[in-house]
Structure formats: structure tokens, C-alpha cells
Amino acid sequence: MKLANIPNPGSEEALKQGCTCPILDNAHGQGIKNGTQFWINSECPIHGKEAYNKAIESIPKIEESITKNKKSIVDNIVKEMLS
């Protein structure tokens, strides 16, 4: 299960980006329980606690950006649907 542009823990793509999460335990990025769960190294620069906190801190900025650009976002969605 891929979230945004973050590669799954233990996947080849994640490893190239510096992931330190378990590879075998995460079935090379496929995860467990049909890909819905992953083993995470809390110190991983991509999936660990610090990365999580940075993502949480960015939510108000993302919400503000969406609010500011709501009309153009909706216009683009409608335009795409009509084309």
C-alpha cells in the first residue's frame, strides 16, 4: 500500500532512498497481511518517527495551500473530467 510518493518499507525503491526498515520481514516492500501492514525502523529516515513528525507538521501548510487554490483545483478537475 503506497502512501503519497513514499515507497513501501523494505522495497528496492525505499532502499535506494536510504530506508533502514526490515527487508525480509516486509517481503521486499510487499508488506504483510495483504500489504496493509509493515515493520518500521523508528530511526528510518523515510518511515521513522522523525519523518512521520515532519509529515504531520506539514498538514496545516497543505490545508492552507488547498484553501488558497480551491477554485483553480476544482476548475482543473472539471476541465479534466470534460476533456
Q: Where do the structural domains in the chain lie, given as residue ranges?
A: 12-82
CA distance 6 to 17: 10
What pLDDT, in 10s, does the model give residues 6-56? 899 999 999 999 999 999 999 999 999 888 899 999 999 999 998 888 888
What pLDDT, in 10s, does the model give residues 51-78? 888 888 888 888 888 888 888 888 888 8
Neighbours of 6 (CB within 10 A): 15
Q: Whole-prediction pTM value?
A: 0.62
Nearest alpha carbon to residue 51 among 24, 26, 27, 17: 17
